Amino acid sequence: MSLGYFITGTDTNAGKTWATIALMRYFKKLGKVVVGMKPVAAGCELNNRNEDALLIQANASVHVPYELINSYAYEQPVSPHIAGINNPVEFSKIIDCYAALKEMADVVIVEGAGGWYAPLNAQQDISDLAKSLGLPVILVVGIKLGCINHAKLTYQAIKQSGLVCAGWLAVCVDADMLNTGENIDTIKHLLSAPLLGVLPHTPKTDFDLLAEQIHI
């Protein structure tokens, strides 16, 4: 039976894609066949393909058709419920793609869009998608000013949804952040879910280095 995780963040640009790729490489190093998925993406300039989704495709253990990884690729870099007004997100399509990916791998990492309550269509948001897939959630906390409040609010929302929070990752997105360690320690004491790793800020992204920081 394959494992699956849903990756959500405290906000847009919290480091979800860094975390997703690092997790994929972590499981690959354990000898697992790993694929990833970014079902909804906005800001798709490369022939209607998303840069993050292409990165997820490139880091899979096996070749995966792009359409399975990114079901909805919107050109405008705006909220999906606005970008997709003429082609709204339908969960059934995403669930079918996830089912196909499960047959291809031991581990499937699903990256959300924006934060936990980011709207995907007129009625549903990221939290609804996570519940539809029924996956344990890994919370990505972008370590920047305001992160303690954002982490606590998002964690409480995940718990209220009834889903399991398998843990959280601290992603150091701000190179100039003061008291990084103290902020991470504070969040660690506020959340009952385990800290799975601290991904440092590096001048050049090294996903193997980031994967080494993860411990599940």
pLDDT for residue 203: 84
pLDDT for residue 45: 75
Those residues whose C-beta lies under 8 Å from the C-beta of residue 175, and which sit 6 or more positions away, are: 201
Q: In this predicted model, what pLDDT tens digit does every residue of 18-55 receive, in sequence order?
A: 999 999 999 999 999 999 999 999 988 767 899 999 99
Q: CB-based burial of residue 148 (10 Å sphere; 0-12 exposed, 13-18 middle, 19+ buried)? A: middle
Distance CA 141, CA 139 (A): 6
Separation of CA 169 from chain center: 11
What is the DSSP secondary-structure string of 87-143?
A: S---HHHHHHHHHHHHTT-SEEEEEEEEETT-BSSSS-BHHHHHHHHT--EEEEEE-
Taking 50 as the pLDDT cut, the residues of the chain under it are none
Distance CA 164, CA 74 (A): 30
pLDDT for residue 43: 85
Instruction: Note if 159 is an active site residue.
Output: no
Torsion 129-206-214-212 (CA) sign = positive
What percent of the chain stands above pLDDT 90?
92
Domain boundaries, the chain: 3-211
Of the candidates 16, 28, 29, 38, the residue annotated as catalytic is: 38
pLDDT for residue 204: 87
pTM score, whole prediction: 0.96
CA dist 197 → 11, 75, 77, 80, 120 (Å): 18, 33, 30, 29, 29
Q: Which fold has domain 3-211?
A: Rossmann fold (3.40.50)
Distance CA 39, CA 98 (A): 9
pLDDT for residue 46: 65
pLDDT for residue 44: 83
